[in-house]
Structure 1
Amino acid sequence: MLRPNLGTRRTRRSLAVIAAIALTFGLAACGSSGSKNTDGLGTTGAFAPKDRKPLPVLSGTTLDGAKLDLSAYKGKVVVMNIWASWCDSCQAEAPYLERTYEAFKSQGVQFVGIDARDNDGQGQAFVKQQQITYPNLVDGDDSALLSKLAGIVSLGSVPSTLIIDRNGALAWRALMPVTYSELSAALAPVVAET
């Protein structure tokens, strides 16, 4: 196998350009207002049952290679978290999400993550390191899953967390990192709905 000579001026320049582009993209995506779709960044909000809109049904491949269609969770409350391994806020909130999942799963609540803008190896390492036990969909390079959520979440806001009621409608959203107490307080009334 041929190895590139990393000492050449052209290769170093190319690597520097790639690193600059990656850094710019990463900063724009992890909670920055650089995106055109930035409405609501840094906010949380609940929606009254009469004001809730149905969420698009998402499906795809999980980090462990399984197929997942969220319509399989019809009748359950679903918490959806959009994250990326390189996002410091995502790393900080991951233990709170897992703790909330463990506290509410016996009440018919399903958590699903969407790994945005990672390669599979980075996402798998993140899930393992953070000891996340709920399934995580992979949003590929085409951002097909996130594009379906345009207008619901800011495409520039990672992390974002959504609570979807038993009817598949958006009940609550946070376009910012969440803590265990914030997420539990938002989740409890939705779980109590009949």
Structure 2
Amino acid sequence: MPRRMNPLRRYTAVASVAALAFTLAACGSGKKNADNLGSISAIPAKDRKPFPELSGTTLDGTKLDLSAYKGKVVVMNLWASWCDACQAESRYLESTYEAYKDKGVQFVGIDARDNAGQGQAFVKDQQITYPSLVDGDDGSLLTKLVGITSLAALPSTLIIDKNGDLAWRALRGIDSSELSAALAPVVAES
């Protein structure tokens, strides 16, 4: 007859495995896996699908609705203050934002898995000037991105074309040259 595991011991084991899995997946390692973590992909115009409508409160307390950027290319970056890869790429995102903001491109961040104070400190420390939505404890913004990006991938960067369709995604940290190379053809589309 099989021995039954003590319920407390079973709970502790399951919780430990879940915590380890979350820790390993939460900040992308750069290696590809079943969720395509570490991948970058451009989506041909004929295969693009509409990006979900997102709105919410930014770190500075204002309301933001992505529909306000209709007709612009939008770069969306999912990040968290505790994510080392997010910290490393933030300067590249800001410099690319500065280079493209007068070319019909809007950057928007989504601060995931932080409280507002942590997110505000990160933005100030990293000198990020574009707005960031706060996902909050309920994960309501991230759940709208199921199937678009891996919810385990931080950082993730998405490019939404002028029609509001997903054109490109990176499920890992990126630099200015990678982002500029991805943006240029999307910006050039009519």
TM range (shorter): 0.7 to 0.9
Q: Secondary structure of 2:185's partner?
A: helix
1 CA distance for matches of 2:64 and 2:116? 16
Identity fraction in percent: 75
Give 1:1-194 correspondences, 5 Å limit.
Answer: 25-31=22-28, 38-194=34-190
Q: Secondary structure of 2:133's partner?
A: strand
2 CA distance for matches of 1:101 and 1:146? 22
Letter in structure 1 aligned against 2:27: C
Q: Secondary structure of 1:28's partner?
A: helix
What is the RMSD computed on CA atoms of the aligned residues?
A: 2.2
Unaligned runs of 5+ in 1: 1-20
2 CA distance for matches of 1:172 and 1:29? 21
Number of aligned residues: 174
Letter in structure 2 aligned against 1:90: C
**What do the CA deviations read for 1:22-66 (whole angstroms, capped 9, x no partner)?**
786444311269xxx952211001011110000101000000000
Q: Secondary structure of 1:182's partner?
A: helix
Please report the TM-score for the alignment, with normalisation by the length of structure 1. 0.84
Q: Does structure 1 conserve the Cα–Cα contact (< 8 Å) formed by 2:75 and 2:107?
A: yes
Q: Secondary structure of 2:110's partner?
A: strand
Q: Does structure 2 conserve the Cα–Cα contact (< 8 Å) formed by 1:153 and 1:160?
A: yes
Q: Secondary structure of 2:46's partner?
A: helix
Q: Does structure 2 conserve the Cα–Cα contact (< 8 Å) formed by 1:38 and 1:156?
A: no
Letter in structure 2 aligned against 1:101: Y
Unaligned runs of 5+ in 2: 1-17
Q: Does structure 2 conserve the Cα–Cα contact (< 8 Å) formed by 1:157 and 1:175?
A: yes
